[in-house]
């Protein structure tokens, strides 16, 4: 009986040490898998200032997978436009792999949000396909006559 009691005390000491080392709150805190609502879209805000919208899933310990990806492009002429990822010059394919270290935060989007409504209209064919602006602006006559050697800024998905 004494040996069983000693073994039980040792097990309790080991468990207590591991709990404090890992942090007790981490045992009861929900992970991203439990919080991500798979029935709706998510907004994924990245450390580079880009925001993407799509269906998010956790992929292992270091990655997220975003499918059905959209982003907003803002121009002075047309205002904000929803763009389906894949029409860019580099021709990206779905899904989009995102390192967890590059994610600032994630939001589940309501079904009545403007973004989700626009995605639904796009899928129904009532919202025209917007294309991303060209990586470099088309030269004007003044630019072709006297070219400049300054680098051009490529637009990135807006916030």
CATH of domain 30-130: 2.30.30.100
Flag whether pLDDT at 20 surpasses 70.
Answer: no
pLDDT digits (tens, 9 = 90+) for 30-55: 566 678 888 899 999 999 999 999 99
Cβ neighbours of residue 17 closer than 8 Å, sequence gap 6 or more: none
Q: Give me the sign of the Cα torsion angle 73, 74, 76, 78.
A: positive
- Residue 2: its pLDDT value, please? 83
- Residue 148: its pLDDT value, please? 45
pLDDT, greater one: 27 or 78: 78
Question: Where in the chain are the domains?
Answer: 30-130
- Among all chains, which residue has been given the structure tokens 């200032």? 49
pTM for the model stands at 0.64
């Amino acid at each position: 009986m004494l040996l069983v009691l000693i073994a039980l005390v040792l097990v309790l000491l080991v468990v207590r040490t591991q709990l404090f080392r890992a942090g007790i709150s981490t045992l009861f805190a929900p992970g991203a898998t439990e919080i991500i609502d798979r029935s709706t879209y998510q907004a994924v805000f990245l450390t580079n200032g880009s925001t993407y919208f799509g269906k998010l899933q956790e992929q292992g310990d270091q990655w997220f997978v975003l499918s059905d990806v959209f982003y907003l492009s803002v121009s002075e002429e047309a205002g904000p436009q929803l763009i389906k990822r894949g029409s860019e010059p580099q021709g990206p394919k779905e899904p989009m792999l995102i390192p967890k270290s590059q994610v600032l935060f994630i939001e589940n989007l309501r079904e009545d949000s403007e973004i989700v409504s626009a995605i639904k209209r796009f899928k129904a064919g009532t919202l025209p396909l917007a294309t991303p602006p060209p990586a470099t602006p088309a030269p004007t006559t003044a630019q072709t006559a006297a070219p400049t050697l300054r680098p051009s800024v490529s637009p990135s998905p807006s916030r």
